[in-house]
Chains A and B, each alone.
Chain A
Amino acid sequence: MPERTVLTALNDTLREEMRADPSILVLGETVWSGGAAGVTRDLIDEFGERVIETPVSENAIFQAALGLAIAGYRPIIEIYSADFLLAVANEVINDMAKWRAQQGRPAHLPITIRGPMGATGGLGPEHSQCVERYFYHAPGLEVVVPGSPATCAPLLAASIRSNEPTLFLEHRRLYPAALPVTGEEGPAQLGRGEIVRKGSEATVVAWGWMVSESLTAADRAAEQGLDLEVIDLQTVAPMDLELVVESLNRTGRLLTVEEAPKRGGIGGEIVASVSERLGRAIPMMRVGMEDCIHSYHPVIEAEMLPDSSDIEKAAYNLCNRGSLGRSEVGPLE
């Protein structure tokens, strides 16, 4: 079966969606040369004026996209690095997320914001952060963070077709992943998670690159006789809490995993939300970055970032098998 990388699949998806819908525009920095990572490669050749290379002016780019969306277009903004979304938090959270509500018109506002995110080793603290948690907190936005390579392109198609302002955050480490071309990739459904590994003893909830780390951890735990279920949330807002609760009803234990700092993160919100739904406290642990600033030094950065070993250890602790993980933290009880 032929293969393509996630990067190529995303590029193909942009092309296919733009062919199907002439109202789709792409705008952002360096997009004529392929954008930050190559996702917009060659689009200028086919779509001409529908691909708008902009000055490095994030505020005006996002504002212009808002104008284009109100005017009936379906803009896709490329943000050069997801960290830079903090420079346009006003446009995203104060303008796009609130626009329909305060103008009294709950009509469509189809804006897709996409770009590379996450740590790859040594890019430094302003080009490595996972920023989904900041936007997760703001009502009025959809936040998509694909984790399984095969879901990236279908989730991008769904994000573009969505009539809401949608952030589609691409972890840099997913770009080179190869996946088979099945010819059956339709758009995914936003707001749906997926059980990517069945298990019985604990539910690991992850998104973005942490899905891969969680699957590695689950494989290793299985060798030690611990059976973990792994959920790829795919979309953090809206979030498929039903799937998490359904899984918890079988496993009884919850482990959340995120690349960003644990403090104030999405993991804590998942724990709180499912506890409310279940009406009781549940055995849980959170894995995430400690309160650190990413280092430019790749080895130091790797120590800071959560990985499969951290997930594995946390799972042993959660399931009262602390001795298996040579854990530095004691067992839960």
Chain B
Amino acid sequence: MEAKRLEDLYELMLTSRRFDEECTRLLGEGVHIPHYHSGVGQEALMVGSAAPLRTADTYIYTHRGYGQLLAKGVSLREIALDMWLKDGGTNHGRGSVMHVNRPDLGLPGREGVFGTRFGLAVGFALAHRLNAADNVVVCCYGEAAGARGPLYEAMNMAVLWQLPVLFLAENNGWSFTTPTQWMFPQGKMSNVWRGFDIPVEVIDGNDVESVYGHVADAIESMRAAPGPRVIEGMTYRLDPHIWWDDASYQSKTEIEAWRTRDPITFTESRLEQLGVPRARVEDTQRAVAAEVAATVQDALSTPDLTGHGC
């Protein structure tokens, strides 16, 4: 990948990371963050799967996917305002960070009970086809949603109707307190889809260049010849499931092993290999840190909503 593009992806990943770190710092200070789920460790899969898309392509995000939203064009300011239930975000305090949506950017939002996303993806793919557009749908999902029946119904429809849906399994090792291997055969979320005779790939979800490349190839193939595909990105949830979770069930050795494969530091080493000056990377780091701090501060100091309309 050319250095400029990787620098752009790095900046998005880093913004997502710094935002999580700022939230974690605030939690330590006793600040309440409603429905906060950290995405630390998964930034490469988030950014790499959304960045190759056009604005008109549909992307269905997951609940810790700040990097996904940023890469699809949502501002950090909107995410932060939604997070703290303030006006000025995308849902005006009504849906929290669980329902960030910008239909104009190809982000329809997400469901509250895992599983609706799959048929939703089929619906958008049908709409793209009826509109005679070669737009595609990327439907991200974690272990929890992937264990629900609607995925199996939607996958069948997508194959039956040859719809351009990329089902992107985010294998981060855990479904809250349940390890992935307790939920899916061989601990792989995608093995079962090989039976549908469609392209199924398992990729390194912590290498943003690899994610970007595989997703870009998949969506370009779907534009040319519609039909669903599956990509399972192997990554790891480095932080607890949700802010009040102590993650005591997660082994420290496992976490440390995955920390050595941190997508942020891995990308930094790649930038160095590509000859990007260290000083420029540090400039980006300073700029991102400043932007995140200022945006979060702005969101926190934005007045609370006072209206109570139905």
Interface residues of A (CB under 8 A from B): 25, 49-50, 52, 54-55, 57, 59-73, 90-91, 94-95, 98-99, 101-105
Contact = CB atoms under 8 A, between A and B. Distances in A.
B127 A60 contact: no
B153 A60 contact: yes
B95 A71 contact: no
A60 B118 contact: yes
A70 B112 CA distance: 16
Of B90, B121, B157, most buried by chain A (CB within 10 Å of CB) is B157
The residue among B90, B108, B150 with the most chain A CB atoms within 10 A of its own CB is B150
Contacts of B90: 103-104
A52 B119 CA distance: 14
Nearest to A52: B126
A66 B93 contact: no
A70 B113 CA distance: 18
Nearest to B129: A49
The 7 closest A-B pairs by CB, nearest first: A67-B123, A63-B119, A104-B91, A71-B127, A57-B153, A60-B153, A64-B123
Chain B, interface SS category: helix
Contact of B122 (A67, A73, A102, A104): A67
Contact of A103 (B95, B113, B116, B119): B95
Contacts of A70: 103, 108, 120, 123-124
Contacts of B99: 102-104
Query: Mostly helix, strand, loop or mixed at chain A's interface?
Result: helix
Nearest to B99: A102
A255 B231 CA distance: 60
A150 B64 CA distance: 52
B279 interface: no
Given A59-B116, A67-B124, A90-B115, 18 more contacts: A49-B130, A50-B130, A55-B153, A57-B156, A57-B157, A59-B115, A60-B122, A60-B154, A63-B117, A63-B122, A64-B119, A70-B123, A71-B124, A71-B127, A90-B113, A101-B94, A101-B95, A103-B91
A94 to B, nearest CB: 5
Contacts of A50: 130
A67 B95 contact: no
Contacts of A104: 89-95, 99, 101
A63 B127 CA distance: 13
Given A67-B108, A94-B112, A103 B94 contact: yes
Contacts of B156: 55, 57, 60
A64 to B, nearest CB: 4
A70 to B, nearest CB: 5
Interface string B44-78: 00000000000000000000000000000000000
Contacts of A60: 118-119, 122, 150, 153-154, 156-157
